Structure 1
Amino acid sequence: MSRIALLGGGFSTDADGVLDDWVLGHARASRPNVCFVPTASGDAPAYIEKFFDAFRARDCEPSVLPLFRRESSDTALRDVLLAQDVVYVGGGNTANLLAVWRVHGVDRLLREAYAGGTLLCGISAGANCWAEGSHTDSYGPLTHLPDGLGLLPGSVCPHYDSEPGRRPSYRAAVARGALPAGWAVEDGAAGLFTDGRLTEAVTRSPGARLYRVRADGEAGAVEEAVPCRLLDG
């Protein structure tokens, strides 16, 4: 069973930690190893500190995988990633994240971890990276990025409701075939995908939604809201 969680929130944006608790609840271990991968932010120290502040207080074993000042061998890097129950990828620049991962072989190791049952998750760029393509501001203006690990079929668009231009730009990219049909995540919502299929959709705030967006010959693109279960705050 291989699983991916797309997050519209978490420790970096929400004070309540509801979505992070939801993620840990799906880990395969009662006290899971959770590795934060902050590559998309350039391994920003403040981001790493925020992760530790949030997860040291939880029933888990938190760690961080830095790549910009890497000190581990290829063997050690593989051992670290394959020992994780949860790999949590932070936000930032999706295109840069993918490039750095490929330089260090992290893309191949994450595929191996995914096949072995590690729960992969993340917010913003950390959600984009798992799909075949995504909607991103990696190059400045909002645009489509037909690149990703491809573990999740289709495309992903984060911040669907909170950043101006996201919704029409993503719909237009799907409508013209620049991106395949995919999933748009509003801030506060999250989706769990098991073997590539959506198996659970939740929200930490009433009104936040996860959408399925697909091309439609007459309408250009259509979005279908997925019913989300409201998590206890």
Structure 2
Amino acid sequence: MTLGPRRRLALLGGGFSTDDDGVLDDWLLGLVDAARPRICFVPTASGDAPGYIERFLAAFDDRPVQAEVLPLFRRTLDDEALRTFLLSQDIVYVGGGNTANLLAVWRAHGVDRLLREAYDRGVLLCGISAGANCWAEGSHTDSFGPLTHLADGLGLLPGSVCPHYDGEPGRRPSYRAVVAGGALPPGWAVEDGVGALITEGRLTEAVTRAPGAGLYRVEPDGEGGATERAVPCRPLRREDRLSP
């Protein structure tokens, strides 16, 4: 019996946009088998901010990859070319910004449908902040200003996601409250510095570049509150960085 491709997602609490050591991005590249993987940055949530794109290209310039960018605010690819482009990637890396805007733009261009197809074909989907939120059924977000819940997402990851769990004031109590009250389903809370690999909907690896940073499973406790279970994370070391 021949097994199909593994469907995988990576939730990032860091990477090129926030860290200088590069270890989370190297961990990410190590998850794919290609000798020179194609990695596509999708900066939709930032409105295709030029500085964000430049930082991505600079960060991956010295790595053994083929780094590309998918802009949608000044889109140049027709539907067929867009599908071919996304399905040819080894990794699709989604940047941070506004989760609600990202989802709206993707749906207008059919990118939501194409990413589902890429996921089913074994392309590794990943991202930070909004780029982690988007894969779940719902998320904790500041897309509308104050922290709130967004019961919307691609639904590739069962449950919900909360990024910046330790990095932004109010994240922890606010996310626990919306999970406890049922506004969001149980989910994963990602602290800054952490990476989580989800394979076929199940957590298969958790890593951290920051001592003390963690990944948590947050669920309602049945009594009006929420439980928070820490997941052991394997430390990443700077000496494990990939060679150019």
Band of TM-score, shorter chain: over 0.9
State the distance in 2 between where 1:28 and 1:133 align: 30
SS in 1 for 2:149: strand
1:189 aligns with 2:194: yes
> Which of 162, 169, 190 is residue 174 of structure 2 equivalent to?
169
1:29 aligns with 2:34: yes
- Name the count of aligned residue pairs: 233
Return the letter of the residue paired with 1:193.
Answer: I
SS in 2 for 1:15: coil
> Which of 30, 38, 44 is residue 39 of structure 1 equivalent to?
44
1:94 aligns with 2:99: yes
The within-5 A match list for 1:1-233 is: 1-218=6-223, 220-233=225-238
State the distance in 2 between where 1:37 and 1:61 align: 14
Return the letter of the residue paired with 2:188.
Answer: W
Structure 2 alignment gaps of length 5 or more = 1-5, 239-244
Q: CA deviation at 1:71?
A: 1.2
State the distance in 2 between where 1:154 and 1:29 align: 30
State the distance in 1 between where 2:107 and 2:33 align: 27
Paired position in structure 1 for 2:241: none
State the distance in 2 between where 1:83 and 1:28 align: 14
1:205-233 Cα offsets, whole Å, 9 max, x none, are: 11000000000123610100000000112
Please report the TM-score for the alignment, with normalisation by the length of structure 1. Answer: 0.99
Q: CA deviation at 1:28?
A: 3.3
State the distance in 1 between where 2:17 and 2:230 align: 25
State the distance in 1 between where 2:107 and 2:40 align: 18
1:157-209 Cα offsets, whole Å, 9 max, x none, are: 00000100000000000000000000000000110000010000000011000
Structure 1 alignment gaps of length 5 or more = none
Q: CA deviation at 1:30?
A: 1.8
**CA RMSD of superposed structures (Å):** 0.6
State the distance in 2 between where 1:197 and 1:116 align: 17
Return the letter of the residue paired with 1:144.
Answer: H
